[in-house]
Structure 1
Amino acid sequence: MKIEMPCIVCPNSCNLEVEYEEENGQKKIVSVSGHLCDRGITYATDEITHPMRMITTTIKITGAHIARLPVILSDEIPKELIFNVLTEIKKIKVKTPVNEGDILLENILGTGVNLLASRSLL
């Protein structure tokens, strides 16, 4: 199977053409073309075989001058877990004081990834 995809890892924004085979539910890269740097090969391979995503959002906070606290994950998670992780994050409500970098939820869904405050609110 062949697909075209834009590379998003550097300012070149290459148009990649990726050929892959799928066998027993596993995808295997056959070739990647259209890249100007090796980062494009890595990006295409990862995006086809095991796509990962970063989540930034907000959660409820009490005792602050604003109602929502911006948060971010400490690392990327598998794309297929996005909605499950967001469901867990939605359950969180914190009180001030909160410092930037505070761990608000550890090891979300066993991923080894933590939810961090991305702003201090005292």
Structure 2
Amino acid sequence: MKKWIVIIWIAALLTLNAGCGTDAQQEQVSSSPAAGDKQQNETNTGDSDQAASPYLTFHDLNGATVTLEKKPERIVILNNELTELFYQVGGEAFGIATSAGVDIPAEAADVKQVSLIKQHQSGGSPSIKT
């Protein structure tokens, strides 16, 4: 079960990060449109009253629908096991949580550490009353 949760989180981060890439290629293509695309570009930009669509909509692990209206500018990684994967797919974190025994990737060495995650000794869920 835990394996599936990790796979779902990785898929969610990859989906989120896919939209975090640069628009350099898109700008290059749109700056010199072909003659056939000119009419389509005018159609897309001509209607300014049309509401902008959200940046990303997905379902979290609880089944709730989450909608991001715009591209995230600062991402804090709270699951430090995913930090290396996040950097491998081209992400750049604003902050990361740390945990004993888990190495921080070299790319994240200068990133602000927001907290130290402590392991619960009994193996159960951590208590809120500490």
Q: What is the TM-score normalised by the length of structure 1? A: 0.23
What TM-score does the superposition give when structure 2 sets the normalisation length? 0.22
Greater strand fraction, Structure 1 or Structure 2: 1
Bigger radius of gyration: 2
Higher helix share: 2
